[in-house]
A and B are shown apart, each in its own frame.
Chain A
Amino acid sequence: MRFEPREKTTPLFEISVMITSVILSFVALSILLFAQGKNPIQTYKTMFNWAFFNPIGLQGTLVKFVPLSIIGLGLLVAFKMKIWNIGGEGQYHLGAIGATLVALFWFPHLNIYILVPLIFVVGAIAGGLWGTIPGLLKAYLGADEIVATLMLNYIGILFMDYLVYGPWKDPHGYSFPMTATFTENAKLPIIWGKVHWGVIIPILLAFLVWYIFEKTIFGYEIKVIGDNKDAARYAGMNVKKNILMIMIISGMFAGLAGAIQMVGIQYRLQPNFSPGYGYTAIIVAWLSRLNPFGVVIVAFLMGGLFVGCEILQILMKLPISITYIFQGMLFIFVLLGEVYIKYKIKRMR
């Protein structure tokens, strides 16, 4: 096959290719559903209605939307510079650990209006710290950030395990590996059902990210470095410093997401509290085509996909693993769609 770069594409063209990709992935999945003896259209309808139009389902979607979008926004910042932070999962865990430290051990009885913001700050710092390590290694030693962030995911999760099985274990918890519950002062107020006030934070952060990239020199430099590192260096930009900055910011977002999850819905640290949000957020960031508002929309839809698959498990007895097939297929079709946007594909003569 031969690839000819398209000179110019319109946003309308790009959006219609993306929508076609999504539709195609659903068509491909219909085959799987059909083989299981399910009516695909009925199945999609069930998922869609539950995730977006049923109050309980929609609450679940919104709750999942929060961490997915915030981690996704952080990853977007790194991906813009072609820095492959796949350590969202570890940074998210560190944020949750930081939040628990403040909420349970430092100031459990502080006034809620001081305590919750403090938890956010410490969570973000903890996540940022987890981003600093690979950032330093990448910037000053040239260490591959993919492997470094991957290792730190494991180290972070094991560190959490160590805490909840060891020193932080709730003495009244019947030997379950989890911490005590947070005090009322460390719980985010609820807006609707399960949905907490954290749900507005992704939208604010999306504007922040948009502002950074559109209106600041720092954001401009990141984009230039992402496009051409050598050119950026000749132009006098400090690539190393920017790599470090990017990794810190990226980690802070994920850390904040972990902290919000703790005070918003978990109220205690326990193993397996993340169904791999840090990894799904990579898909979210990518599907948004690195657009901050796109992240918010995609994260909402992805949250809906999680919740929709949960209802398939309950109503249609389909294994919950179908979520991952959905994610994987969607991802592959969108990736192919992107190629189609970039290139005209012709047969080699």
Chain B
Amino acid sequence: MLVSVLTAAIRAGTPLLFATLGEIFVERSGVLNLGLEGLMLIGAFSGFVIAHITKSLFLAVILSMVAGGLFALLFAFLTVTMRVNQVVSGLALTMLGMGISGFYGQAFIGKTAPQFATLSIPGLSNIPYIGQIFFKHDILVYLSYVLVFLSWFFIFKTKWGMNLRAVGESPKTADSMGINVFRTRYVYIVVGGMLTSLGGAYLSLAYTSMWIDRMTAGRGWIAIALVIFSSWDPIRAMFASYLFGGVASLQPRIQAGGTTISAHLLMMLPYLLTLIILSFTSGEAIRKKIGAPTSLMVPYSREERE
């Protein structure tokens, strides 16, 4: 029972993990992208359509990431170049993503596309419990493991990561150090968009084997919470995503088990937990300690201060 719940937690947590990783990069550069829900939908939709047409999963994943990157580019243009308010730009992005995927996706409802199959890793998957939980998944799950560690290493151990964090901390200082703030933000908004889009593609190509209108069902918003939950750290993001995934995958089991606990009340737990964590980590001192990007949501311009 526990093993199967944990296995399901990883599967359900993987789309969240991709999106959370993406948003960590974006927020680390000092930008809050609230458009994750729209980006994930673009990813889920474009991935499915390309897989349906070309029958190639590889192309589907690559092109859905390109689509997500381009969509995020629009957000970068609005918020970095035009300095439009980030909150409302993100909402506009979500509206557009919902609209475009729903509008063009209607023709693909009920269609089929190739799906990612489970690929047990020889050797590792034979380890009792651990193997079953971690190493009997599809290839995208393994990719997410690798990405978590790569992201962590990149953000905390490389010069690029240091520059990224500098831009999120104090763009002015970063600028005077010779870092191009605008380019940095552009790059990471697009990278974040690609990862988020991949999370969406995971949904339509591995998690559920079809395209359903609005199939992300709020996961993009959850990822925004997960970034806080994980305090902008890729490794903690992994645990946070699996926790949320686990609670979500518990729901049908509880209903089937006929217990008296309401599945809806149980579903509230991760949100409550995020709220509690948010409350306890928001003090100035703690924020500094966990490395929250201090210039989050502040648009940057060289000649004037807002």
Contacts and interface: CB of A to CB of B under 8 A. Distances in A.
A154 B279 contact: no
A60 to B, nearest CB: 20
Contacts of A2: 303
B262 A165 contact: yes
Interface string A165-180: 1100000000000000
A325 B96 contact: yes
Contact of A3 (B213, B268, B301): B301
A142 B284 contact: yes
Interface stretch (A143-151, A186-194, A215-223, A243-251): A143-151
Given A150-B221, A279-B91, A336-B82, A162 B265 contact: yes
A321 B102 contact: yes
A165 B264 contact: yes
A66 B242 CA distance: 41
Contact of B102 (A154, A158, A319, A338): A319
B100 interface: yes
A166 B260 CA distance: 10
B59 to A, nearest CB: 23
A335 B91 CA distance: 12
A324 B221 contact: no
A282 B35 CA distance: 14
A114 interface: no
A141 interface: yes
A213 interface: no
Interface residues of A, number: 50
Interface of A is mostly: helix
Interface stretch (B130-138, B159-167, B270-278): B270-278
B92 A332 contact: yes
A335 B78 contact: yes
B198 interface: no
Counting contact residues on chain B (CB < 8 A from A), the size range is: 35 or more
B82 A141 contact: no
Contacts of B38: 328
A148 B275 contact: yes
Interface string A1-37: 1110100000000000000000000000000100000
A320 B99 CA distance: 9
Contacts of B12: none
A158 B268 contact: yes
A121 interface: no
A3 B83 contact: yes
Interface in A299-349: 318-329, 331-332, 335-336, 338-339
Nearest to B280: A141
Given A324-B96, A328-B95, A158 B264 contact: yes
Contacts of B93: 328
A85 B242 CA distance: 28
Nearest to A338: B84
A84 B95 contact: no
B231 to A, nearest CB: 12
A30 to B, nearest CB: 15
A154 B218 contact: yes
Contact of B84 (A146, A155, A335): A335
Given A143-B278, A154-B221, A321-B102, A161 B87 contact: no
A68 interface: no
B32 interface: yes
B267 interface: yes
B50 interface: no
Given A84-B87, A328-B38, A329-B96, 10 more contacts: A1-B81, A32-B103, A142-B284, A147-B228, A150-B221, A152-B271, A154-B271, A283-B95, A319-B102, A321-B100
23 contacts: A1-B81, A142-B282, A146-B32, A147-B278, A151-B278, A155-B272, A159-B268, A161-B264, A321-B100, A321-B101, A321-B105, A321-B213, A322-B99, A324-B98, A326-B99, A327-B99, A328-B95, A328-B96, A331-B88, A331-B95, A332-B96, A339-B83, A339-B84
